[in-house]
């Protein structure tokens, strides 16, 4: 394996060497190269246990494609109320969706490599391992190795889906990364885990008309606002079976799997009371969380400290590890939120601090996130539970409202599905410390409010904002009902 060659700007082969080619790694590399530094990315990601190759198109983009596939099916149903006449019954072609997404993954992979080259970033499809101070061993797909040196190293290896460790999970279960490798529709599917990833997959499959069950293992949308999470469950419960208070213990295959034949899976579960049960599914999808990919890259050898509980890398406010010339960004960081947008932002700021003379640190508060369920949920800031814990319930006011998007009126969709919540810290001039939006296109709606929150948005300023009519976001500028008022009405029996 011959690495890229070229003049070094110092005693090392490279100014910056990035291990991992995810969104954060690409961002820090591109920004550093733009600041005239010699940069190398080492990125060789092993396929999943099912053999699925991981492409350069991040999973967030694929999640959006899957959500859109589901939404289009609902739009076809609604279209008849808007006067559209369908000449034939609409049906979904799984293979067409898979082919289109896989083609997009390949296209994006080529675009990424072109962009890196145009920016002056060197790229090697090789696994990187720290073997000494400022020294990384690169191993290509053929096992050929070469040692390279760099003044600064950035760890951006991302994370991987977790497995339960029960018999048959790696042999017979899929993760979200494997779903679109299926040549056939997944059929009756058991989604194990109530994470955002799990609910997104469940909503997508349900939207395609496939039978879906979700086993909450352990909770629904852990880390998100509990009351809003419950509303997400209530919205999709009509098409999805939820299995409560039970755990997966074993997965067995009843027949050999071929691309043409779906193997039936026998799933064994146990309830909290110790009762066992077996049930058949076509597909079992594991969405129980993700684990940072920090093993086997030499962190212990060079003294980079990780959390014993999570395996993620300990960093300071500058994203610097316990070794001064090694940094970590993205989902490998311990105790920090993890989103694609945040990883890109962190990588860009890090390169500017290292090589651009800037001192701006990333603000890890008010990081927005979105759950791409059929009815989208976006959030920024504190959940209601976290706000009460931080400030005390008497210091927190929660404004909320259900509403009906105008485009839902003609097809007569459920009036009480869409929901918004604004959480305010009363002693601080009713400063907005949390916004939760459960509406179509929630992520796009929330983006502007994220900027306002970074500027110290208060409820008074929110009320003084002119709403855009007709539009969904205007509901956030006219909130008058508080949760205390709603709960008082319920206690009096008037609501």
Percent of the chain with pLDDT over 90: 80
What's the pLDDT at 315?
Answer: 98
Catalytic: which of 134, 172, 334, 469? Answer: 469
227-273: pLDDT as tens digits: 999 999 988 888 899 999 999 999 999 865 554 445 699 999 999 99
Over residues 389-431, the pLDDT tens digits come to 999 999 999 999 999 999 999 999 888 889 999 999 999 999 9
Active site annotation includes 245: no
The region of weakest confidence among 43-47, 71-75, 407-411 is 43-47
Question: What is this structure's pTM?
Answer: 0.92
28 alpha carbon, distance to own chain's centre = 20
Q: Tell me the pLDDT tens digit for each residue of 122-152.
A: 999 999 999 999 999 999 999 999 999 999 9
- Who's near 370: CB < 8 A, 6+ residues apart? 376, 377, 378, 379, 442, 443, 446
- Where do the domains of the chain lie, and which CATH numbers do they carry? 14-49+99-159+291-355 (3.50.50.60), 169-288 (3.50.50.60), 375-492 (3.30.390.30)
Question: Mean of the per-residue pLDDT values for the chain?
Answer: 91
Which residues, 6 or more positions from 298, have their beta carbon under 8 angstroms from its beta carbon?
A: 129, 130, 131, 137
- Which is it for strands 396-403 and 418-425: parallel, antiparallel or unpaired? antiparallel
pLDDT given at position 255: 66
- Calpha distance 492→452 (Å, rounded): 37
For residues 9-15, give the mean pLDDT. Answer: 86
CA 245 – CA 272 distance, rounded (Å): 6
pLDDT at 261: 47
Q: Is the pLDDT of residue 6 over 70?
A: no
Asked if 415 and 404 count as a contact pair (C-beta separation under 8 A), the reply is: yes
pLDDT given for residue 56 in this prediction? 52
Alpha-helix runs per DSSP H in 124-240 = 169-172, 196-207, 226-236
């Amino acid at each position: 394996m011959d690495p890229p060659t070229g003049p070094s700007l110092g005693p090392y082969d490279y100014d910056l060497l990035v291990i991992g080619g995810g969104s954060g790694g690409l961002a820090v590399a591109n920004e550093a190269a733009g600041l005239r530094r010699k940069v190398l990315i080492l990125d060789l990601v092993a396929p999943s246990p099912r053999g699925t190759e991981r492409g350069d198109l991040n999973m967030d983009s694929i999640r959006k494609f899957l959500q859109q596939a589901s939404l289009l099916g609902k739009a076809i149903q609604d279209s008849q109320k808007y006067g559209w006449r369908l000449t034939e019954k609409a049906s979904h072609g799984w293979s067409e969706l898979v082919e289109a997404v896989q083609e997009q993954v390949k296209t994006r992979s080529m675009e990424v490599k072109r962009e890196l080259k145009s920016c002056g970033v060197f790229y090697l499809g090789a696994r990187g391992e720290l073997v000494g101070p400022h020294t990384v061993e690169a191993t290509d797909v053929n096992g050929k190795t070469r040692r390279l040196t760099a003044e600064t190293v950035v760890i951006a290896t991302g994370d991987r889906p977790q497995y339960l460790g029960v018999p048959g999970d790696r042999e017979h279960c899929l993760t979200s990364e494997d779903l679109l490798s299926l040549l056939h529709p997944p059929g009756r599917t058991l989604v194990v885990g109530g994470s955002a990833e799990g609910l997104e997959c469940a909503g997508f499959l349900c939207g395609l008309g496939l039978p879906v069950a979700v086993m909450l293992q352990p909770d629904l949308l852990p880390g998100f606002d509990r009351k809003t999470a419950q509303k997400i469950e209530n919205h999709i419960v009509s098409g999805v079976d939820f299995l409560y208070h039970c755990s997966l213990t074993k997965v067995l295959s009843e027949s050999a799997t071929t691309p043409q034949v779906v193997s039936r899976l026998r799933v064994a579960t146990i309830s909290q009371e110790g009762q066992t049960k077996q049930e058949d599914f076509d597909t079992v999808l594991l969405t129980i969380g993700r684990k940072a990919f920090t093993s086997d890259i030499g962190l212990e050898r060079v003294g980079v400290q990780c959390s014993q509980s999570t395996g993620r890398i300990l960093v300071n406010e500058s994203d610097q590890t316990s070794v001064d010339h090694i940094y970590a960004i993205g989902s490998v960081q311990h105790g920090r939120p993890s989103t694609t947008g945040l990883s890109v932002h962190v990588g860009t700021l890090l390169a500017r601090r290292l090589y651009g003379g800037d001192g701006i640190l990333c603000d890890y508060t008010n990081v927005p996130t979105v759950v791409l369920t059929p009815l989208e949920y976006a959030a920024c800031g504190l959940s209601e539970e976290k706000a009460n814990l931080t400030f005390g319930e008497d210091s927190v006011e929660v404004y909320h409202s259900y509403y009906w998007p105008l485009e839902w009126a003609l097809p007569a969709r459920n009036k009480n599905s869409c929901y918004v919540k604004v959480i305010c810290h009363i002693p601080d001039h009713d400063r907005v410390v949390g916004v939760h939006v459960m509406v179509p296109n929630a992520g796009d709606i929330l983006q502007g409010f994220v900027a306002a929150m970074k500027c110290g948005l208060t409820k008074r300023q929110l009320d003084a904002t002119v709403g855009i009519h007709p539009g969904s976001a205007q509901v956030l500028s006219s909130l008058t009902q508080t949760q205390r008022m709603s709960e008082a009405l319920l206690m009096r029996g008037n609501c």
